[in-house]
Amino acid sequence: MPESTQIHEALGVFDKTTSRWGRITMIIGLFFSLAAPAYLVFFSGLDIELSGIFAAFAALAAVFGVIWIVEPLTYYPILGASSMYQAFMIGNISNKLLPAAMIAQSTIGVKPGTRKGELASVAAICGAAAVHLTSLFIFVGLLGTWLVSVIPADIVQTVQLYILPTVMGAVLIQAIVSQKSPRAAVIALVVSLIVVFVLSPLSPKMALFSTAIAVISTAVLAWVLRDRQKTEVAERAAEETPPEGPVY
Amino acid sequence: MYLAAAVDNNSTDILAVANSPFLWACAIGVFLVIVIQSVIYMKAAQVAAPHIGMTHQEIKTSFRAGAISALGPSLAVVLVAIALLTVFGTPAVLVRIGLIGSVSYETAAAAIAANSAGAELGGPTYTQAVFGLALAAMSLGGAMWMIATLILTPLLKRGDSALRKVNPAIMLVVPGAAMVGAFMVLGLGELPKSWIHVVAFGSSAVIMTVLMIIAKRVDRPWIKEWALGIAIILSLVITHLATRV
């Protein structure tokens, strides 16, 4: 079918462009982010021992090492391949980029995990990046030093301490409504309750992996316990629609 | 060297090195790279969209929805970033807290690094040399995330394609469930911290529920887009009042 070849080609071009330029821009970003400390360590005249840096890095790796690998694994199914290179450079993924992608998908009525959903999330993350870069540039870069002197300390403290629960409360409701899958929501609730109130208190190490454990178990259980009738209908429909996966 | 006058290992005048021109140049570099990436991605999305039955308008709407919903979270990050300006200086705050990482991770990383040198962030032991060490550790830690992304994404993509061929329904169920699971555990994880966290989470969830019901009743899609910002600001006000009880 010529039409499906055309779709294939268009998606192939999109995948190639985003993976090539996503990687190139991320490597350049990586370079700039490492150049700053490299300058301080090697050229600024400060006495910073390399052995001290290794020790600090080892201490970090002990705490975060597994997260470095688990986080990309956790966000991949939600973001899709193309957005991965955006998300891990722009940062603040769970509190800013995931909500942005989800709201965009539900505004135009597409699902995560589909190619339309992927394009919507790419565009949404671009929009979020535009807003974020602008507000950082103006309020932190240009006005930051002045603002720090006028914003009352207790307001800054409230925001710092409680921003995560305020974002998550609202975003969770939006996610449940937009997914229209009460079954998955109930599974997520039960799994998260167990992870937060039973597993995490057992050891602090466990708490670090709570997001990954909950996300992976919810995904697996939602798949095992899926509404088979509904997904079978969707499956048959999917065979007739354009390829949803990466096409090369 | 041009910094020589200001550089002193034992000085606690962090900002003399933290706001140096070279660090500013690196921060601007990261900004520009993200701008360029976004332009390339937007173009690619717009080119591909019509071929899979999406209009340019839908791409534009997604961009706008993403932008508006980022307002609330973005301003929150800005506020916290401002609070940390005196600790890390403007360029490091822009790159580490504002971009790439997140407040909680980067501050934890800096604190761990300072501790490994027997110092503390912000105290009399927080010298220029300790700042350099903390920035190096934060940057290396952040780099690990990027490196993991660069290595894992192509691998996952291959696995993903294979999976979709075997069973296309898996992608109808798994991504959505993973997303709800992520928000659920991140949200519930806040509850045991204190009763004010419960107030923050609960008030925000209630406000969002009300906004969603209103949006549905009056059929105004813009409410959905602005809902997150409204819910965050209102529930922060409620939470702030709760801290004074």
pLDDT score for A243: 45
pLDDT score for B15: 77
pLDDT score for B122: 67
More confident site: B116 or B29: B29
Q: Where are the alpha helices (DSSP H) in chain A?
A: 2-42, 50-79, 81-90, 98-108, 115-135, 144-150, 153-179, 182-194, 200-202, 204-208, 210-224, 228-240
Q: Are A185 and B218 in contact (CB under 8 A)?
A: no
- Asked if residue B107 has pLDDT above 50, the reply is yes
- Asked if residue B191 has pLDDT above 70, the reply is yes
Q: Are B97 and B81 in contact (CB under 8 A)?
A: yes
Interchain contact, B66 vs A124, CB within 8 Å: yes
- Last residue within a domain, chosen from B166, B182, B204: B166
Q: Are A82 and A15 in contact (CB under 8 A)?
A: yes
- Residue A16's SS3 state is helix
pLDDT score for A207: 66
> Same domain for B234 and B161?
no
Is the Cβ of A12 closer than 8 Å to some Cβ of chain B? Answer: no
- Last residue within a domain, chosen from B106, B134, B166: B166
Q: Which of B63, B80, B166, B185 to mutate to test the interface with A (most CBs of A within 10 A)?
A: B185
Helix axes A153-179, B195-218, angle to 10 degrees: 50
Based on the number of CB atoms within 10 Å of its own CB, is A226 exposed (0-12), middle (13-18) or buried (19 or more)? buried
What is the tens place of the pLDDT at every residue in B196-237? Answer: 999 999 999 999 999 989 988 887 767 777 788 788 889 989
- Asked if residue B138 has pLDDT above 70, the reply is yes
Structure tokens at B192: 């045991």
Interchain contact, B171 vs A55, CB within 8 Å: no
Structure tokens at B145: 């995330």
> Same domain for B216 and B119?
no
> Same domain for B45 and B117?
yes
Q: The domain containing residue B41 runs over which residues? A: 1-166
**Closest residue, chain B, to A50 (C-alpha):** B133
**Model's pTM, two decimal places?**
0.78
**Closest residue, chain B, to A21 (C-alpha):** B37
> Same domain for B131 and B227?
no
> Same domain for B127 and B218?
no
**Closest residue, chain A, to B95 (C-alpha):** A33
For A:52-71, CB contacts with B below 8 A are: 52-53, 55-57, 59-61, 63-65, 68-69, 71
- Last residue within a domain, chosen from B111, B131, B166: B166
pLDDT less than 70: residues of chain A: 1-3, 63, 160, 205-208, 230-248
More confident site: A61 or B105: A61
ipTM for the predicted complex comes to 0.79
Show residues of chain B in contact with A196, CB under 8 Å: 185, 188-189, 191-192
**B97 Cβ contact list (under 8 Å, min separation 6):** B77, B80, B81, B84, B88, B103, B106, B107
Interchain contact, A175 vs B179, CB within 8 Å: yes
Most confident region among A207-221, B98-112, B133-147 by mean pLDDT: B133-147
> How many domains does chain B divide into?
2
